[in-house]
Structure 1
Amino acid sequence: MQPHKVVSREEWIEARKAHLTHEKEFTQARDRLNEERRALPWVKVDKAYSFDGPRGPQTLNELFAGRSQLVVQHFMFAPDWSEGCRSCSFWADGFERMIPHLAARDTTLVAISRAPLPRLAAFKTRMGWTFDWLSSAGNDFNYDYGVSFTPDQIKSGARIYNFGTSGFGVEEAPGISVFFRDDAGNIFHTYSCFARGLDMMNAAYHYLDLTPLGRHEERLPYPMDWVRLRDQYQPAAVPASCCHK
């Protein structure tokens, strides 16, 4: 960390108010971006998908659970992996308790992966999650929505991820896709985001962004190298000066 200037409370308030101006500009820009996102055109989903879920086979229509909006968290978990992606689990820990709040606003959120359902269920139990998690092992959903890739695609080095803007070195990638269902039962794909576009959905990162150290990932082999599954972190050391006995 760079040395920081230490000032009086009055000087700090003035500096904070100057920064608040920039924060307000950012908030207003974000509001405009959200409006632009909602105004994007839609694509009608005509392809039939069947997912393996805890209540048996379910269609994409059934995943809405009677609501008009569906958010799909594309969770990286290939069929032969022994456990889910650490980074995707980081996101899942964040949205786990959001489900009832989203449901109150006519929105269902589910996770979908290519791993078989028993493997998903076992990992879900281990992590203590309660959200619906379905397997797309029997369909092309992950490939159609840009989060799974064939060995030939990866080997070719083609730009296959994030709307063709970058390559991806493994078979599974993270993402979020959003769908809308109208009164007639028609389903539309309205939005997807990948890569850094997923940051806005990670509350832990935004808390870290408020701190002096920030995410402090600069010297790591890759930014999320520090992330572990929630049950794999070592207990934090208690400072010797701590007054708790």
Structure 2
Amino acid sequence: MNHPVVSRQQWLAERTKLMAREKELTRLSDQIARERRALPWVRLDKTYSFDTPAGRRTLGELFDGRHQLLVQHFMLAPGWEQGCKSCSYMADHTDATLVHLAQRGVAFVAVSRAPLAEIERFRQRMGWTFPWVSSHGTDFNTDFHVSFTADELASGKADYNFGGTPPGGEMPGVSAFWKDDSGAIFHTYSTYGRGVEVMMHTYRLLDLTPKGRDEDGLSFTMEWVRHHDRYESPAPAAKPANAGAC
């Protein structure tokens, strides 16, 4: 990489200048989080139920005794051989977070439209343990704007990401819900498109590195992503400048 090289003193001056911008971003992020929590809620009048390894369960039962629930809308439609690569990249970060989410009263579940047997087959291949249920045969995916019929796509009536046009019939998202002491359930928030990067911790680490995400020139940004058992091999280590010298 051809990059400016300066003295430590010059680097500290530039780094300090950037830190001021980073603090602005942090404060803005905190403010947006407060505004997100202040959004009005929508009470769910429809009862949703899902196929789970423990049998049929309602949305309320997926809270697992907690007040808060996060749902990953995972792209795995009926008949697909495997789940979406990008959704799988999201899910690779999930298992280790569950114990920490639970400490803050938050349950987590992934929801896909594929039948449970197809979900379980793919889950076993990937080695995940987080709760993952099937919305097959229900309106859950369509009501939360992550699954679309061919007619909706053809007519331009499909609404993804609050007014956007989905490129396909299955799309990713993350939704949040609250259940009060009476058992009433409220939809509090959903995010789609690049908003789902909230689950992609690897991206945040890549953003710290000299090459960043290194996605310029790809046909689409996540073209490089594979299911974690489908990478050919780790990228080769850089060869030392004096490699081969005696």
> How much has 1:228 moved relative to structure 2?
0.4
Matched, 1:112 2:111: yes
CA–CA separation in structure 2 for the residues paired with 1:196 and 1:235: 27
- Structure 2 partner of 1:234: 232
Residue 127 (structure 2) aligns with = 128
Residue equivalent to 1:50: 49
Counterpart of 2:209? 211
Of 159, 179, 182, the match for 1:181:
179
Contact 1:78 1:171 in 2 (8 A): no
Q: Which residue of 2 aligns with 1:35?
A: 34
Aligned to 2:11: 12
- Note the C-alpha offset of 1:238: 4.7
Q: Residue 169 of structure 1: CA displacement?
A: 2.4
Moved over 4 A (4+): 238-243
CA contact (8 A) 1:50 1:138 kept: no
Determine whether 1:195 maps to 2:199. Answer: no
Query: Shift in Å at residue 138 of structure 1?
Result: 2.2
TM-score with structure 2 setting the length: 0.94
SS of aligned partner of 1:228: coil
The corresponding residue for 1:65 is: 64
1:69, distance to aligned residue in structure 2 (A): 0.1
Deviation track 1:192-213 (CA, whole Å, cap 9, x = no partner) reads 0000111232111111111121
Structure 2 counterpart of 1:85, one-letter code: C
Ranges in structure 1 where 5+ consecutive residues have no aligned partner: none
Q: TM-score, normalised by structure 1?
A: 0.95
Which whole-Å CA distance do the structure 1 matches of 2:156 and 2:46 have between them?
28
Name the SS for the 2:72 alignment partner: strand
Q: Which amino acid letter does the alignment assign opposite residue 114 of structure 1?
A: R
Q: Distance in 1 between matches of 2:31 and 2:237?
A: 45
Superimposed CA distance per residue, residues 117-140 of structure 1 (whole angstroms, 9 cap, x where no aligned partner): 011011111111000000000210
Q: For 2:220, which of 201, 219, 222 is the aligned residue?
A: 222
Q: Distance in 2 between matches of 1:109 and 1:128?
A: 17
Q: Which amino acid aligns with 1:70?
A: L
Tell me the equivalent position of 1:171.
169
Q: Distance in 2 between matches of 1:233 and 1:201?
A: 20
> CA 1:104–1:212 in 2, change beyond 3 Å: closer, same or farther?
same
Q: Which amino acid aligns with 1:174?
A: P
Partner of 1:170, secondary structure, is coil
Aligned sequence identity (%): 51
- Deviation, 1:159, is 5.1
Q: Take 1:189 and 1:173, find their aligned partners in 2: how far apart are those partners?
A: 19
Cα distance between partner residues in 1 of 2:42 and 2:32: 20
Instruction: Tell me how far apart the structure 2 counterparts of residues 225 and 104 of structure 1 sit (CA, whole Å).
Output: 35
The alignment of Structure 1 onto Structure 2 pairs a total of residues equal to 241
